[in-house]
Amino acid sequence: MSLRHFLIIYDHKSGKLRAPPKVYDDASAALAAYSEKEREHQSDKDLEIVLIGSDSLATVKRTHANYFDTPATSEYLRMAE
């Protein structure tokens, strides 16, 4: 499997993704898009912009469940109680 890159913009104020993750197969294009979004939203402290490399979106949802409304998030929160 090849590495894919997922650009995620998470809005802490709403507790949701701003849009579905954008997927890139090219690392240079992914980094350019990430840098552009960081510049575009640099004054918005409620947004978290991340670029994650992974084999699939399913893996990203499992390893970064805090960005998604998934059973893994609920399981993690129950363990923290």
Query: H-type helices in 1-81, by residue range?
Result: 27-40, 57-63, 71-80
Report the residue count for the chain.
81
What pLDDT is attached to residue 34? 98
What pLDDT is attached to residue 1? 64
Q: Which of 58, 57, 63, 55 is nearest to 1 (CA)?
A: 55
Global pTM value: 0.82
**Which residues of the chain fall below pLDDT 50?**
72-74, 76-77
Maximal C-alpha separation, the chain: 41
Q: Return the domain boundaries, the chain.
A: 4-80
